[in-house]
Amino acid sequence: MLTLKDCLALADLSEDEILAIAEHEHLPEIAALELGHYLVHTPSGAPAIRRMILDDIAAAEARGDRLRVLTLKLVLKRFCDCHPEALAAVAPPERSAGTSRQRAAS
């Protein structure tokens, strides 16, 4: 049987990153671990996790929880250091050439 620690070792995310996902998504830690593992292996996943951490920072700031803000900023820095693709902007889906031409003709 796998323990939570075993799963963390396979997740490509730190426990603090998993906890930030759990906080943002209101999930148990093991479910957040599964979601995070999935997201970090998709093209838009790392930017999505970054956005979750930023949202958690904003929520902690709104509550006046300075310690949580500082903790999450460190989590964000580590995440971006380990996953530089998190800083890449997610491009919108490309439109087909026919759609662009139809709009240009309008």
- Number of folded domains that form the chain: 1
In a domain, 11, yes or no: yes
- In a domain? residue 27: yes
Asked if residue 43 belongs to a domain, the reply is yes
Classify residue 69: in a domain, yes or no: yes
Residue 101, in any domain of the structure: no
106 belongs to a structural domain: no
Q: What is the helix, strand, coil percentage profile of the chain, to 5?
A: 75, 0, 25
pLDDT band at 101 (very low <50, low <70, confident <90, very high): very low
pLDDT score, position 100: 47
Per-residue model confidence (pLDDT) at position 89: 64
Domain assignment present for residue 95? The answer is: no
* Full domain range(s) for residue 33: 4-89
Whether 62 is in a domain gets the answer: yes
pTM exceeds 0.85, yes or no: no
